[in-house]
A and B are shown apart, each in its own frame.
Chain A
């Protein structure tokens, strides 16, 4: 299914076309479930989150019209934001981080191109310009939805230091992306 096909489905969902919604679900649930699982690291919670994500997609599909994101990026953004919202208000993190789920991170492959519409190289090139531990922090935060507190603990630095690090890294990324 091409990005154009997914765009058409989202537009049809925005006018409450249930058949389009069913098809959109079939085509995208695996990717969005992958997002929820990775961030929440708990299967039951990820299933709940996925439901909520598709409720949002059903009710907010009209907003896609004013977004400049590619359709998959728009859907992933909804899923990521929702999963991160959930994990931020969750009281304690899942105990067995990274062992609860046997889900490997695939290496960025051809799909990266599809997701980014041809600009996949930019962010990866710019991340490579950062020091290794800083770019790892950015990638980890993005994929796992780690908070400043969790990053600080994992990297063994105070919270404020972590925040300063990451902010500097983000500013460098912005400079690099604008070149």
Chain B
């Protein structure tokens, strides 16, 4: 069943697609396609929101169930581990990262020590038949006020960045790097300006990310590093955790 011929006006058009999306009945691929429309078409997003509002009284049918305390603890670690989770330092194997980063100009020992704190928690490989794996990282400030939140979606091979704090200096850009052990950092590109932005991931980088690489953001000349390797200071870094 194709979404195209089914969605003409005689079938209610966009308004009914919006209703199907809100109701949640669409199969995965169609649902993802509609979700992209919600992001990119304000008119369509309004139709979706109207259905959300119209159907919202049905949510009274959901019983309230207190979540176990462990959920909030884990959530706090996930979101706020940059704020002094010293327990992480004990389970760290940082040699590879330290040596591969050592040449990064402007990266102080203190910043490196801070970076080490983020290389935490053994990475748990999900079963190979779960392509929906998603990973998050809080890229916490490294002697800066630059903080981004990263969500990597294995299914769409998309890195989403949410800007939390910190502005780039005039004429400079933030560049996102993936660092896998001792190997040279691989650039994912310049981080576009904006609150929520996305970067695509190629196959080689995908493997690094999914095997537990670290993300770092460096400050670079406008347009990105001229050398293909980080040239400016690391302003934020963090490791990935499964969600």
Contact = CB atoms under 8 A, between A and B. Distances in A.
Given A16-B165, A55-B243, A29 B59 contact: no
Contact of B63 (A34, A51, A59, A148): A34
A11 interface: no
B193 to A, nearest CB: 15
Given A52-B134, A59-B149, A85-B31, A123 B58 contact: yes
Contact of B65 (A30, A80, A111, A147): A30
Interface residues of A, number: 77
A108 B57 contact: yes
Interface string B2-41: 0000100001100110011011111110010001000000
A88 B134 CA distance: 15
A156 interface: no
A89 B62 contact: no
Interface residues of B, number: 58
B60 A106 contact: yes
Interface stretch (B70-78, B96-104, B113-121, B216-224): B70-78
B49 interface: yes
B61 A160 contact: no
A119 to B, nearest CB: 7
B79 A58 contact: yes
Contacts of B65: 30, 33-34, 37, 103
Contacts of A73: 52-53, 56, 59
B67 interface: yes
A141 B23 contact: yes
Interface of B: 1, 6, 11-12, 15-16, 19-20, 22-28, 31, 35, 49, 52-68, 70-72, 74-75, 78-80, 129-132, 134, 136, 149, 151, 155, 162, 164-165, 195-196, 243
Given A37-B65, A55-B78, A170-B19, 6 more contacts: A16-B164, A16-B165, A34-B64, A67-B49, A120-B60, A142-B59
11 contacts: A35-B59, A67-B49, A69-B56, A73-B56, A80-B59, A88-B24, A106-B60, A116-B56, A123-B57, A163-B1, A170-B16
Interface of A: 16, 18, 25, 29-31, 33-35, 37-39, 47-48, 50-52, 54-55, 58-60, 62, 67-70, 72-73, 76-77, 80-81, 84-86, 88-91, 103-106, 108-109, 111-112, 115-116, 119-124, 138-139, 141-143, 145-149, 151, 159-160, 163, 166-167, 170-171, 173-174, 177
